[in-house]
């Protein structure tokens, strides 16, 4: 409970004083040094006073393309302050932060607990006063089996959910044995949508077979990969489908307790999910003997992240729920046997769980009508950057990047020429127009040595300087490295330093080789997926455009 | 159950659960280490012990990777050397390793360029001299976590230290930067004993470096002990 207590103190008093930290540590019997360690780890926690309202502006690539740096300048000028500095009246505190998961509304901001879309510099006044526009989900796709309810139902209404095929999958599940549910999921060929594409059936089978009376279900709703916002849209517009997926998982592996861990920068999704949980308890979709099935008990708790991308990594997420610094654990052992509180745990992504609900409703054969042989089921992509229609795209058949961008998303803004696509996420690759005919499937991307990652397609037109985007990505990884292992703790900083020189046109002789050595050392020797992919985009850019890294426009004094 | 594998081409048989580092030692192959220590829990931090395993996508830290059947391990391949050299070069650009003799030897062994990263931001810190028993100079700290572990679950159970900060700004923290006498510290000295880089040094050593003689040191320490707050 340490993290919830610290977040509560932060929300009430805009920081955590030494006195409060001491009270919390003593009440929860956590060593005081550890309390400080935890406060220092999470960026939403401050040990010094901030201000009544914190305004956070995204500085990741999609928002940067849309002018977020100018927004920060305008805000601080109007408030007569500087970033990370409270206004003298203690009212406002402006901060640049990594991707807020609203890239389709770039530049995105968060005013206290309220998300704000299109927070451009000219709207600084309304952003300060709190009259700015809140973002709505934007979803495209010819057929939308997965997101059919989004924008149609009242997200917090259980009745509405029931009227729109809700819990039909769960009722099918409850008529089957857990083994049969696992068989269905395997037949459907569902693969995790959190980035690693791990087969969900195998994961659940592992957790189901683990011998332990206490098991957990965890929904990973920490979505913080720059460019990714699909989970936010599901959480805000069809949250019951996620709950239904968790109930299916609980029934299948016999877990009695679950957690949904939602990133701290998604306060609106958190508010919605709290209501969803309350409604589910009221109607016996949570609690004891769920829907009259004797012995099917399941309790669900929501937990908030506190500002750390690394907590999306499954074992770091467990540490966060356990109230510790979000350090990834060494694997093996794997979560299916040693997960949350060291107990067998099935952890899944939001979109994966929504897919479970769909597939258990329509059956594996019908489910496989969507997608391709090697990539079954519908799949969400997040389009952002210089594209006419940014948003979430539900893809249900073999589609190439070219079709997605030019036929479905209207091409580039102002008919500009395409320069590059950041594909898969900040942890993904830059690709060039030559690769536009790539089909968006696991099998085709794997063959091209790429990864779909979390479905990010971020578009850069011909006028953009890729080096600027690289500095932003480099900054992101240096900011988000947990610091546990040396290659990433040190390498993300060294990488950023070189990228900054490159971007200023002040590369030193040998920088290309330095960047290469740092990049491969992180990729090869880091402890977790963050460090192992922190150089992917950079290395891909070096391959495509080596000349960018050698251009020297400033004399080295 | 015994597990058969090969290390640098030589067959090895060891019990299940043995780490690659232990297995390699059986055939007198040593992997370099920075964070590893017999007395503290291995957390796989430094990755200096990495080895290459056939068929694996990434390198494996020998200190925490258990052996598995028919594994083929290479402890000194090109990829391994590259990673070790770069880790040393990056670390040397970050902290003061002048009093870490073992790391100096490793830098020579792996032909690390001590000036590999020009204009790198160093992790500077003030020397913390706040108690009569030891001095903390975190500019020399390599973040091996051993002091935290020795102070906590591995040895002393006093929990006065924690890992702090994050990423490149990682550090060793006390509660709101409290000086040691205001923490739960019992001055057992375990942290000083396990520190590999002289970031933690005993007062005696510290005074000796400053040129004080035996009697002067005794007097100085006595004086400081008297100024300690009572617990
Ligand atoms: C640095 C890092 C960040 C991650 N962030 C997320 C995330 O925000 N959401 C998510 O579902 N998975 C994330 N993952 C992947 C998870 O570790 C895990 O694979 C996933 O939650 C499993 O769910 P799935 O099988 O349903 O995809 C991340 C992994 C890494 C290495
Ligand atoms: S790779 Fe980076 S994020 Fe992962 S454990 Fe190492 S330092 Fe932490
Ligand atoms: S002070 Fe010494 S023992 Fe502690 S982390 Fe730093 S180098 Fe390791
Ligand atoms: S919200 Fe700004 S890049 Fe995602
Ligand atoms: S010695 Fe193995 S990771 Fe440090």
Mean pLDDT in chain B? Answer: 95
Considering only CB atoms, B166 lies closest to which of A33, A36, A40, namely A40
Q: Decide: B141 and B35 in contact? Cβ < 8 Å.
A: no
Residue B176 contacts A where some CB pair is shorter than 8 Å:
yes
The confidence band for A134, taking pLDDT boundaries of 50, 70 and 90, is confident
Domain borders along chain A are: 2-41, 53-129, 139-367, 379-461, 466-550
Between CA A88 and CA B136 the distance in angstroms is 37
Q: Which of A298, A303, A151 is nearest to A221 (CA)?
A: A303
Q: Residue A556's pLDDT is what?
A: 54
Q: Work out which ligand 3 atom sits closest to the CA atom of B148.
A: 4
Query: Is residue A428 pLDDT above 60, yes or no?
Result: yes
One domain, residues B97 and B143: no
Tally of structural domains, chain B: 2
* Nearest residue on chain B to A496, alpha-carbon basis: B120
Distance from Cα A263 to the centre of ligand 1, integer Å: 12
Considering only CB atoms, A36 lies closest to which of B83, B143, B175, namely B175
Q: How far is B163 from chain A (nearest CA, A)?
A: 6
- What Å distances lie between residue A511 and A169, A499, A506, B171, CA to CA? 55, 9, 10, 28
Instruction: Determine the residue among A490, A502, A504, A535 to mutate to test chain B binding: the one whose Cβ has the most chain B Cβ atoms within 10 Å.
Output: A490
Q: Exposed, middle or buried: residue A28 (CB in 10 Å: 0-12, 13-18, 19+)?
A: middle
Residue B141 Cβ inside 6 Å of ligand 3? The answer reads yes
The confidence band for A181, taking pLDDT boundaries of 50, 70 and 90, is very high
The confidence band for A550, taking pLDDT boundaries of 50, 70 and 90, is confident
Residue A419 host element (H or E): strand A418-423
To the nearest whole percent, how much of chain A has pLDDT over 90?
97
- H-type helices in A50-177, by residue range? 61-65, 68-79, 124-129, 158-163, 168-174
Q: How far is A490 from chain B (nearest CA, A)?
A: 6
Ligand nearest to the CA of A491: 2
Query: Is residue B230 pLDDT above 70, yes or no?
Result: no
pLDDT tens sequence across B11-39: 999 999 999 999 999 999 999 999 999 99
Per-residue pLDDT averaged across A507-517, rounded?
95
The confidence band for A553, taking pLDDT boundaries of 50, 70 and 90, is confident
One domain, residues B95 and B161: no
Output the six-digit token pair for B198: 């002289």
The confidence band for A46, taking pLDDT boundaries of 50, 70 and 90, is very high
Q: What is the ipTM of this complex?
A: 0.96
The confidence band for B85, taking pLDDT boundaries of 50, 70 and 90, is very high
Residue B3 Cβ inside 6 Å of ligand 5? The answer reads no
- Considering the four listed CATH numbers 1.20.120.1760, 1.10.20.10, 1.20.1440.230, 3.40.50.300, the one that applies to the domain covering A466-550 is 1.20.1440.230
Report helix angle A230-237 to A239-253, nearest 10: 90
- CATH fold of A379-461, please? Ubiquitin-like (UB roll) (3.10.20)
> Taking chain A, what is the end-to-end CA distance rounded to the nearest angstrom?
54
**Number of neighbours of residue B192 by Cβ within 10 angstroms:** 21
Name the residue of A103, A118, A475 to mutate for ligand 4: max ligand atoms within 8 A of Cβ.
A103
Contacts of B161 in chain A (CB under 8 A): 33
Instruction: Determine the residue among B58, B75, B90, B95 to mutate to test chain A binding: the one whose Cβ has the most chain A Cβ atoms within 10 Å.
Output: B90
Q: Residue A86's pLDDT is what?
A: 94
Instruction: Tell me which of B82, B103, B122 is where a domain ends.
Output: B122
pLDDT tens sequence across A336-345: 999 999 999 9
Name the residue of A194, A354, A424 to mutate for ligand 1: max ligand atoms within 8 A of Cβ.
A194
Q: Residue B224's pLDDT is what?
A: 85
Q: Is residue B231 part of a domain?
A: no
**Number of neighbours of residue A553 by Cβ within 10 angstroms:** 8
- CATH fold of A139-367, please? Rossmann fold (3.40.50)
Contacts of A308 in chain B (CB under 8 A): 166
pLDDT tens sequence across A327-368: 999 999 999 999 999 999 999 999 999 999 999 999 999 999
The confidence band for A40, taking pLDDT boundaries of 50, 70 and 90, is very high
Instruction: Determine the residue among B94, B175, B178 to mutate to test chain A binding: the one whose Cβ has the most chain A Cβ atoms within 10 Å.
Output: B175
Q: Is residue B25 part of a domain?
A: yes
């Amino acid at each position: 409970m340490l993290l919830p207590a610290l977040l509560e103190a932060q929300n009430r008093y805009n920081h955590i004083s030494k006195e409060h930290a001491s009270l919390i540590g003593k009440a929860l019997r956590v060593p005081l040094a550890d309390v400080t360690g935890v406060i220092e780890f999470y960026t939403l926690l401050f040990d010094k006073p901030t201000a009544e309202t914190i305004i956070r502006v995204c500085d990741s690539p999609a928002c940067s393309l849309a002018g977020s740096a100018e927004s920060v300048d305008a805000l601080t000028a109007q408030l007569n302050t500087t970033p990370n500095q409270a206004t003298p009246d203690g009212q406002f505190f402006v901060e640049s932060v990594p991707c807020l998961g609203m890239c389709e509304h770039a530049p995105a901001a968060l005013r206290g607990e309220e998300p704000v879309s299109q927070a451009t510099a000219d709207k600084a006044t309304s952003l300060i006063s709190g009259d700015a526009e809140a973002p709505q989900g934007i979803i495209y796709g010819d057929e939308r089996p997965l997101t059919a309810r989004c924008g149609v139902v009242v997200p917090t209404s259980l009745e509405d959910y029931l009227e729109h095929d809700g819990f039909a999958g769960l009722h099918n599940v409850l008529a089957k044995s857990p083994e049969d549910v696992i068989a269905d999921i395997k037949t459907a060929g569902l693969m995790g949508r959190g980035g690693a594409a791990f087969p969900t059936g195998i994961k659940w089978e592992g957790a189901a077979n683990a011998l332990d009376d206490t098991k957990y279900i965890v929904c990973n709703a920490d979505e913080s990969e720059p460019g990714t916002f699909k989970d936010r849209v599901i959480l805000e517009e069809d949250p019951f489908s996620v709950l239904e997926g968790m109930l299916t998982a609980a029934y299948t592996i016999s877990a009695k307790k679950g957690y949904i861990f939602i990133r701290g920068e998604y306060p609106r999704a958190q508010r919605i999910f709290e209501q969803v949980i309350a409604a589910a308890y009221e109607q016996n979709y949570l609690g004891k003997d769920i829907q009259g099935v004797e012995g099917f008990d399941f309790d669900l708790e929501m937990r908030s992240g506190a500002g750390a991308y690394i907590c999306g990594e499954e074992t770091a997420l467990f540490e966060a729920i356990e109230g510790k610094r979000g350090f990834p654990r060494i694997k093996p052992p794997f979560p299916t046997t040693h997960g949350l509180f060291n107990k067998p745990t099935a952890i899944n992504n939001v979109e994966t769980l929504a897919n479970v609900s769909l597939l258990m409703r329509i059956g594996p054969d019908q489910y496989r009508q969507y997608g391709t042989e090697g990539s079954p089921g519908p799949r969400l992509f997040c389009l952002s950057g210089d594209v006419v229609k940014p948003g979430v795209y539900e893809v249900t058949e073999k589609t190439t990047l070219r079709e997605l961008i030019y036929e479905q998303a209207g091409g580039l803004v102002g008919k500009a020429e395409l320069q590059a696509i950041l594909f898969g996420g900040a942890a993904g690759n830059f690709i060039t127009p030559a690769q536009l005919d790539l089909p968006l499937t696991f099998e085709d991307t794997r063959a091209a040595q790429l990864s779909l990652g979390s479905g990010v397609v971020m578009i850069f037109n011909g006028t953009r300087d890729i080096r600027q985007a690289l500095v932003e990505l480099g900054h992101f990884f240096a900011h988000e490295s947990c610091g546990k292992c040396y290659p990433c703790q040190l390498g993300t900083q060294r990488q950023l330093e070189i990228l900054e020189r490159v971007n200023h046109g002040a590369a030193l002789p040998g920088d290309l080789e330095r960047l290469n050595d740092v990049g491969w050392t992180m990729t090869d020797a880091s402890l977790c997926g963050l460090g192992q992919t922190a150089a992917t985009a950079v290395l891909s850019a070096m391959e495509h455009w080596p000349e960018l890294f050698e251009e020297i426009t400033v004399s080295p004094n | 159950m015994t597990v058969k594998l090969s290390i640098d081409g030589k067959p090895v048989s060891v019990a299940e659960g043995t780490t690659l580092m232990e297995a390699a030692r059986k055939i007198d192959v040593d992997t370099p280490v920075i964070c590893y220590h017999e007395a503290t829990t291995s957390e796989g931090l430094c990755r200096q012990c990495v080895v290459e395993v056939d068929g694996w996508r990434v390198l494996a830290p020998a200190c925490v990777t258990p052996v598995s059947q028919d594994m083929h391990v290479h402890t000194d391949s090109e990829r391994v050397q590259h990673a070790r050299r770069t880790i040393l070069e990056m670390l040397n650009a970050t902290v003061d390793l002048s009093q870490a003799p073992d790391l100096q030897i490793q830098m020579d062994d792996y032909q690390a360029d001590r000036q590999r990263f020009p204009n790198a931001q160093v992790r500077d810190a003030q020397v913390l001299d706040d108690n009569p028993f030891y001095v903390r100079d975190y500019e020399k700290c390599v973040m091996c976590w051993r002091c935290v572990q020795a102070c906590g679950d591995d040895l002393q159970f006093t929990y006065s230290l924690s890992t702090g900060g994050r990423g490149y700004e990682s550090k060793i923290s006390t509660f709101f930067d409290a000086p040691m006498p205001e923490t739960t510290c019992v001055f057992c000295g375990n942290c000083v004993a396990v520190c590999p880089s002289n970031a933690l040094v005993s007062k005696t050593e510290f005074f000796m470096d400053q040129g004080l003689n035996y009697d002067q040191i005794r007097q100085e320490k006595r004086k400081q002990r008297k100024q300690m707050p009572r617990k």
